[in-house]
Structure 1
Amino acid sequence: MRSRSRPAAPGRAAALALAGAAALLLAVPTAGPAAAAPSDQPGGTSRVLDSEALDRLQQRAAEVQADLQRRQAEVAVARQALTDAEAEVAAARTAVDDAEGELARYRTVVAQYAAAAYRDGGALTPLTVLLAGGDPGDVVAALGYLEAVDAHTAEVVGEAERQRQAALAQRGAADAALDQARGRADELAGEVADLEASAAAVTAELDAALADVDRQLAQLQREQVDVDVQTAANWRAHLDRLGAAGVQPPPAAALLDPVAGLPAGLAPVGAADGGAQPGAAQLPRQPTSLLVLPAETVTAVTAAMDALGRPYAPGTAGPDSWDCGSLVSSVYGAAGVDLPDDQAGLYAVTTPVDLADVLPGDLVFLGTPEAGLGHVGIALDRQTMLAADGRAGAVVVRRLPADQVLHVGRPSLGPRPEQPAPGPTGGALPVECGNPVYPPSSAGGRSWGGYPNGLIPPSALCPLGVAGHALRCDAAAAWRAMSEAFADAFGEPVCITDSYRTYAGQVRLYGEKPALAAVPGTSNHGWGLAVDLCGGIETFGTPQYAWMVANAGRFGWLHPTWADPGNGREEPWHWEYAGG
């Protein structure tokens, strides 16, 4: 069960940021970069998510969603039954019309026979039929029918009447089935209307709660930016102090063995066990020494500082968005240190150091006994780390929770023999970059940032700069790049009609188009990962649509298979973001 925290008083994180601006990064006799105090929860946003009221409202929304999904299946069956009944009624009516036409034709010929017999005193001959007939075809038909009428007039007319009665009975049964199908369809329509009303009621409450969440989130984001900016400034100030002291960070190989010797003028950094730490040194000074890290570590941490504020998105590897593993791998890769790009792979190969000896640039792996490994970030000191955080939805400076540390690794020491990362036990959900990974079938499951579908605070989304449209931030960046390329080809940007769709918007659309719209709370629009486009893209076969097919994939956008021609729900305008 998730632990819950009481919301902090407004401005608390900002006060912490100011109070901590002069805090030293290391509790050892060396001076490192000072870090502004981050908020108590990852990215400063988690306490917004840990809301029992929001959980209860989301559960109600999930219940309505499940009912709508069940009813939608029943509505589809009822609609098919109604269509079948209407077709049966139409066929029965056609059969009755045919039978009545046949009987009328028989009766007409019999009447002509009787009239001719009366005029001729009962002596009906081919000549009297010829004289009484009109159209030559009718005469020929009548002549051919005379023999049958002579022998079977009553039988033929009777059989035609029986056929008509059978057709009438069939039509009656079909009409009854149609009435029943219409009744069931009407009944289901009423049930769906009731559920739509329930969804609308839940939506009003959710919107009110979400507005409060968004206000808190906007304030926390402002505080987080202050922390990130101050931390980056402190890091630059530390590098400036090294430069002023004439220190050029040495390569990692020069700091591997402090016992055998370090570059001239540098001294070892003490370890918790009383020895010296490999992979670091210090420049003795008064009143405090300066921490000296390997050049590779300095390059990696500097690159990570440059990524602060970029959005978190699973499976992405920059430069517009990151996940936790790809951020670590990329910044160290830029420094010439080859590392895996996922949290488990990084855990497996990084050489361990004691948590008490953690230094800037070390990798910190977080988790719990139940969920196993769930996060990786770059340590800045014993209390602070920098990470692409799934809960914050961005690259942030956040607290380093000592009680959740599973492993600390130092990339500058080289790889260790691989050790498997601990995984979930007892049915616990896996965790990636600090965010639980819900199975796709999980009703009401929270995806990126921890928010429910259609209930993402506006502050967590990024605007497209077009008529109020917004998407998840990495999707927004990819859309803008794609739109610019489209404009180069067609002289104008991509035309868009729909993007992120709130839960309320999904409820309204479902009420208007229950046969076509996704059940509220299940649409990819509700994750900020889908768009509906126009300007020619909305039609198969146009040059604009062809351009999208050929080029959208370069920007992480795709046209889902279910919306392709011939797959039942042709929607050329609908495109989804699948990541870079």
Structure 2
Amino acid sequence: MPARSWAHPSGRARRRVAVAALAACVLVLLPGGPAAAAPSDQPGGTSGVLESPDLDRLQRRAAEVQDELRARQAEVVAAREALAGAQRAVGEAQAVLDAAQGVLAGYQREVADYAAAVYRDGGALTPLTLLLSGGDPGEVLSGLGFLDVVDAHAARVIGVAEGHRRAALDEQARAQAALDQARTRADEVGARVAELEAAAEAVTAELGDALAVVDGQLAQLQREQLAVNEQTAASWRAYVDQLRAAGLAEVPASALRDPGLALPDRLVPVGAGGGGAQRGVAQLPGRPTSLLVLPVETLAAVGGAMEALGQPYAPGTAGPDSWDCGSLVQAVYGRTGVSLPGTQGELFARTAPVAPADVLPGDLVFLGSPESGLGHVGIALDPRTMLTADARAGAVVVRTLPGDQVLGIGRPVLGQRSPAAVPEPTAGALRTECGNTVYPPSYDGGRAWGGYPNGLIPPSAMCPLGVGGHSLRCDAAAAYRAMAAAYAADFGRPLCITDSYRTYAGQVKLYGEKPALAAVPGTSNHGWGLAVDLCGGVQSFGTPQYAWMVANAGRFGFLHPTWADPGNGREEPWHWEYAGS
């Protein structure tokens, strides 16, 4: 199979021929039969939802169940709160009754003690004993009056205590009735929720079957992506071999920057689309095609980028195991002595621009839109193909270059320009980084990606964390592994994890166990493959481990959502979410 070549329509050109008559060279895709793979319109072919009518139909059924469960969620919470309140009221009423009975019993003991004392001292003190033993009539009358007062007071005290006891009994009866009513309501709501849970479970198996079909399709798409990567790398090596055979694989950029004055022997300029000659490139005339001659720095940078194909994307990382789009560009050119900044914005601001029509291999392609501003940077391989660390693909891939999203082209070997304004988001749009949306730390909504339903992401689109069976979306997984390595370096032990990606079936099961606490199935952030629950000290506010996460997680794209912070209703120190892309 012939390799890609840089073609020119005429081999008769000479260095002094008017460069305006020379057409820009184009890197031609490898020809091939039906089995030949081509770059996907979706980056890497791993993040665009696949057409699956069965999955769409079943997801609609699952969504209906989700809507009913969500509608019932408030009833579940209200019923459980009412039940808990009734149980508290019964407890409080019992405490009041116990106290009233204690007071009554105390008074009764005092009366009994008095009676016992009289008995020990020679019998009860009554009006008759006073008359028989009395002396002076005045003393007898005084004694009889004293007895009346004592009896009246005792009766009054015991009567009040008895009244309190009876009131407490009535309150206890009312509280018990309210408790019985709350239990009945909770049972009714629970029965309805159980019906909905059964409905969710009924579609879970069918969803799993449909998902298996989609996963097989995705796995095939990934195999095709691997073929694209391998074919592209092979074509690049073949092109470099052609330059070596011609003795032109070591031409420095400095020798090609001013084609109007002089070029190395045998070389002629490459025409620019707007007239004149392109800087930083030349060609060797020949038949049937001319050979494009790129600087040795560009050859080395593109070759280095080819070696990174398939490695994970992770924001804020700069190799060797994972990359973001800006750091990959910076690293591969930095190894050749071409110093570049490391972010997509700084690269756009400082890289020398060329006209989009003049794009050549090794040029930087800046993508975006008027609304979201600059959102991506990659390395052009030809006018239709680019190599990049792509956030949506979660890896370094060869992908289709979307011409309608090109905001600019830059040529690193031409040096840096004075900083230019970087296109920014407008009208409140969220910014994008390396091809995907960056959510603010206060964002509490679901982070859907790729079009897959929550909890129904094909396993082939996920990446392992290297701990048990835990997995996340591939860019989140790469970021987590980097964060876990930094944590282990500081604490001398691995970062502890209890939960990560949660399937739809897993959400249904958890909801059945904790309907008042768990998210409605199909709405959990765990179902997007972007959330983790941690342990080992992180699960408690105020620990050194939690403090480390607060100080460092952001470097790796993870955040602690505001709803889980102290004082915000649901305090979950263990819950962290990836928002790096």
Q: Secondary structure at the match of 1:397?
A: strand
Q: Secondary structure at the match of 1:396?
A: strand
Kept after mapping to 1: 8 A contact 2:52/2:214 = no
Q: Secondary structure at the match of 1:179?
A: helix
Distance 1:443 1:201 in 2: 27
Residues 175 and 224 of structure 1: CA distance in aligned 2, closer, same or farther (over 3 Å): same
Residues 266 and 82 of structure 1: CA distance in aligned 2, closer, same or farther (over 3 Å): same
Kept after mapping to 2: 8 A contact 1:530/1:577 = yes
Residues 149 and 282 of structure 1: CA distance in aligned 2, closer, same or farther (over 3 Å): same
Equivalent residue, structure 2, for 1:312: 313
Residues 69 and 344 of structure 1: CA distance in aligned 2, closer, same or farther (over 3 Å): farther
Letter in 2 for 1:366: L
1:39 aligns with 2:36: no
Equivalent residue, structure 2, for 1:511: 512
1:33-432 counterparts in 2 under 5 A?
35-36=29-30, 38-42=38-42, 43-45=44-46, 48-49=49-50, 72=73, 75-76=76-77, 78-107=79-108, 122-123=127-128, 149-424=150-425, 430-432=431-433
Using the TM superposition, give the Cα deviation of residue 497 of structure 1 relative to its aligned residue in structure 2, in angstroms: 5.6
Using the TM superposition, give the Cα deviation of residue 209 of structure 1 relative to its aligned residue in structure 2, in angstroms: 3.4
Kept after mapping to 1: 8 A contact 2:333/2:339 = yes
Report the count of equivalent residues: 540
Letter in 1 for 2:197: E
Deviations 1:474-499 (A, max 9, x none): 55556667888999999998886644
For structure 2, list consecutive stretches of 5 or more residues without a partner in the other structure: 11-23, 31-36, 134-145
Residues 577 and 273 of structure 1: CA distance in aligned 2, closer, same or farther (over 3 Å): closer
Distance 1:437 1:67 in 2: 31
Kept after mapping to 2: 8 A contact 1:461/1:473 = yes
Using the TM superposition, name which of 495-504 and 325-334 deviates more: 495-504
Equivalent residue, structure 1, for 2:448: 446
Kept after mapping to 1: 8 A contact 2:47/2:461 = no
Using the TM superposition, give the Cα deviation of residue 262 of structure 1 relative to its aligned residue in structure 2, in angstroms: 1.7
Deviations 1:196-242 (A, max 9, x none): 34443454454333222211110011011011101101111111221
Q: Secondary structure at the match of 2:265?
A: coil
Q: Secondary structure at the match of 2:354?
A: coil
Kept after mapping to 2: 8 A contact 1:471/1:529 = yes
Letter in 2 for 1:328: V
Distance 1:174 1:396 in 2: 67
Residues 441 and 184 of structure 1: CA distance in aligned 2, closer, same or farther (over 3 Å): farther
Q: Secondary structure at the match of 1:407?
A: strand
Using the TM superposition, give the Cα deviation of residue 472 of structure 1 relative to its aligned residue in structure 2, in angstroms: 3.5
TM (norm. structure 2) is: 0.75
Using the TM superposition, name which of 235-244 and 181-190 deviates more: 181-190
Deviations 1:399-424 (A, max 9, x none): 22333333222222233444434455
Kept after mapping to 1: 8 A contact 2:48/2:451 = no
Kept after mapping to 1: 8 A contact 2:394/2:474 = no
TM (norm. structure 1) is: 0.75
Using the TM superposition, give the Cα deviation of residue 432 of structure 1 relative to its aligned residue in structure 2, in angstroms: 3.7
Bigger relative CO (Cα 8 Å, ≥ 6 apart): 2
Letter in 2 for 1:270: G
Kept after mapping to 2: 8 A contact 1:281/1:292 = yes
Equivalent residue, structure 1, for 2:138: none
Kept after mapping to 1: 8 A contact 2:66/2:520 = yes
Distance 1:348 1:172 in 2: 77
Residue identity over aligned pairs, in percent, reads 62
Kept after mapping to 2: 8 A contact 1:32/1:290 = no
Using the TM superposition, give the Cα deviation of residue 103 of structure 1 relative to its aligned residue in structure 2, in angstroms: 3.2
Residues 331 and 538 of structure 1: CA distance in aligned 2, closer, same or farther (over 3 Å): closer
Q: Secondary structure at the match of 1:364?
A: strand
Q: Secondary structure at the match of 2:382?
A: coil
Letter in 2 for 1:217: L
Q: Secondary structure at the match of 2:49?
A: helix
Residues 506 and 27 of structure 1: CA distance in aligned 2, closer, same or farther (over 3 Å): farther
Distance 2:476 2:372 in 1: 29
Kept after mapping to 1: 8 A contact 2:212/2:458 = yes
Residues 249 and 430 of structure 1: CA distance in aligned 2, closer, same or farther (over 3 Å): same
Residues 54 and 330 of structure 1: CA distance in aligned 2, closer, same or farther (over 3 Å): farther
Residues 480 and 102 of structure 1: CA distance in aligned 2, closer, same or farther (over 3 Å): closer
Using the TM superposition, name which of 28-37 and 456-465 deviates more: 28-37
Letter in 2 for 1:246: G
Residues 347 and 67 of structure 1: CA distance in aligned 2, closer, same or farther (over 3 Å): farther
Residues 488 and 401 of structure 1: CA distance in aligned 2, closer, same or farther (over 3 Å): closer
User: What CA RMSD, in Å, does the superposition of the two structures yield over aligned residues?
Assistant: 4.6
Using the TM superposition, name which of 106-115 and 84-93 deviates more: 106-115
Using the TM superposition, name which of 287-296 and 193-202 deviates more: 193-202
Distance 2:316 2:374 in 1: 17
